[in-house]
Structure 1
Amino acid sequence: MSEPTELKNIVEAALLAAGRPLSLEAIQNLFNEIECPDKKQLRAVLEQLAADYQGRGIEIAEVAGGWRIQVGAACSAWVSRLWDERPARYSRALMETLALVAYRQPITRGEIEDIRGVAVSTNIVKTLMEREWVRVVGHRDVPGRPSLYGTTREFLDYFGLKSLDELPTLAELRDLDEINRELDLNDPDRVTDPEAVAAQDIDAAVAPSDEQDTLAEAEAEAEAEAEAEAEAEAEAEAEAEAEAEAEAEAEAEVGDEQR
């Protein structure tokens, strides 16, 4: 490729059209063997493009899956209003489970339950795997050989990370939590970014043990109350069915006597 400007334009157009991260190899596949730029040349072009986009509403970022064009964080709250549907909101239990997998992987379901103090719902694991944020990476060498869970490249891409080393520290998460609360107070209609939701719940999941115990106890109490209500409803239904059967038998006996 003789013209640097032409190469830059092609790479920019490819990132825009792809709608997903492109690796250096994927970009190289756009060119024939004679004109194909090397990876060093491509990286230089991508870094130049990223610099060109600084301070604008969109940006070019490198994530685990490669390079992509994305909405700048400063504009995401307004751009999200283009869609009527709100971003998916996940339960605190799901986000805490994801956080423990991210920070303590590889980890078993039983180990997650030990840390959180409550059972991990099968639906939580299913949802995380359907989202392709979590996968089975092996099995613990103990009786029963429980599955070991770890995060995926899709997890890194979704949260805008190149590697697990870029996961925020507890201090950074708490600072972000405070900023998000201030923004929510200033703009009640603001659409919460999924990364912010995750950050708040990750902070809770990897909090000191006394805070975890308090959260776990509260959640356990809520689950116990829900189970008690369900049992009470089941008992009421059983009693109603028994009464209905007794009435039916009584009517049948009356009918037999009349005959």
Structure 2
Amino acid sequence: MVPPRLSVVQGSEHSNTRPEHARAAEGGPDEVARHGEVRPGYSNVAALPSADRGEKLRMLEALLFAASEPLDEGRLGERLGLGEELPALLEELKGFYASRGINLVRVAGKWAFRTAPDLAHLLEQHTSEEKKLSKAALETLAIIAYHQPVTRAEIEEIRGVTTSKGTIDVLLETGWIRPRGRRRAPGKPITYGTTEAFLIHFGLDSIKDLPGLAELKGAGLLDSNLPPDFKVPEPQDIAALMPDELPLDSSEDEDEQDELDPSDADEDSSADDQADKA
């Protein structure tokens, strides 16, 4: 008896088969890479062989997911042995998670997974209630962010009122500000600046991402009747001390060295002794 011949009718409405690239697109960046497909919008990240790229995406994803803090590209590249292709892989992973419940974002020049902003309300019941900053503390924090490096006296001059030591202490406890150094001025007052924790908390890649004058007005944070010459300073956070700053551990005697170098004094004393002997 001859067995019946079976045939597959392509395009049948009862067929469950789908193109490989369609199934790959549903599986995430690694599936797309294994099938040699590049999702729309990622034409600049197809430089690696498809299977190799998929594996590297998986490793990158796992490392970022398990990290307890944001990771910079240098550390990621060192851990995974990635070079020039790392930025492209990060952008591909970022694009894949753009519409998901968690997003891959860049904060303080580093990369981390964060809950999608529009879903933050779902997690409110799981977060502990944090102490709210006072109006004075918020004003002080804003002045430090925009005017750093700045001293307490300079903060008071900008605010127009006295700033208590307690306000500075509260901001130091949050970890959002830090003592930078000391101003080259009588009394050597401490200068303050923001920290990396400040950038991470407020979702900023750099201090220059702080809103400008137009954005502050649009958000209703500034009075509409401002002086015509009013300007918002361009914020900057330079890690190195400025020319008018001294190290925090500088002593009172260091100022005197500018006026009289000890080595010069020894030479003068030696010269006087020789003159007396003559």
Identity of aligned residues (%): 37
Q: Which residues in structure 2 correspond to 1:112-127 (within 5 Å)?
A: 112-127=155-170
Q: Is the 8 A contact 2:141 2:171 kept in 1?
A: yes
Between the aligned partners of 1:82 and 1:74, the Cα distance in structure 2 is 16
Partner of 1:27: 76
Between the aligned partners of 2:55 and 2:163, the Cα distance in structure 1 is 53
Partner of 1:222: none
The runs of at least 4 consecutive aligned structure 1 residues that moved more than 4 Å come to none
Displacement of 1:148 in angstroms is 1.1
Displacement of 1:7 in angstroms is 0.9
- Alignment partner of 1:10 is 2:53: no
- Alignment partner of 1:77 is 2:121: yes
Question: In terms of mean alpha carbon deviation, does 168-177 or 14-23 score higher?
Answer: 168-177
Q: Which residues in structure 2 correspond to 1:195-214 (within 5 Å)?
A: 208=226
C-alpha distance after superposition, 1:149-196 (max 9, x if no partner): 11111211111111111101233234345xxxxxxxxxxxxxxxxxxx
Between the aligned partners of 1:49 and 1:77, the Cα distance in structure 2 is 25
Task: Provide the TM-score with structure 1 as the length reference.
Answer: 0.62
The counterpart of 1:68, out of the listed 70, 95, 112, is 112
Between the aligned partners of 2:103 and 2:131, the Cα distance in structure 1 is 23
List alignment gaps of at least 5 residues for structure 1.
Answer: 178-199, 210-259
Task: Provide the TM-score with structure 2 as the length reference.
Answer: 0.58
- Alignment partner of 1:44 is 2:123: no
- Alignment partner of 1:160 is 2:203: yes
Using CA pairs under 8 Å that are at least 6 residues apart, name the structure with larger relative contact order, 1 or 2: 1
C-alpha distance after superposition, 1:186-229 (max 9, x if no partner): xxxxxxxxxxxxxx6xx58xx958xxxxxxxxxxxxxxxxxxxx
C-alpha distance after superposition, 1:67-96 (max 9, x if no partner): 00001211112222233x324311111111
CA distance change for structure 1 residues 136 and 208 in 2, over 3 Å: closer, same or farther?
farther
CA distance change for structure 1 residues 164 and 7 in 2, over 3 Å: closer, same or farther?
same
List alignment gaps of at least 5 residues for structure 2.
Answer: 1-47, 228-278
Aligned length: 178
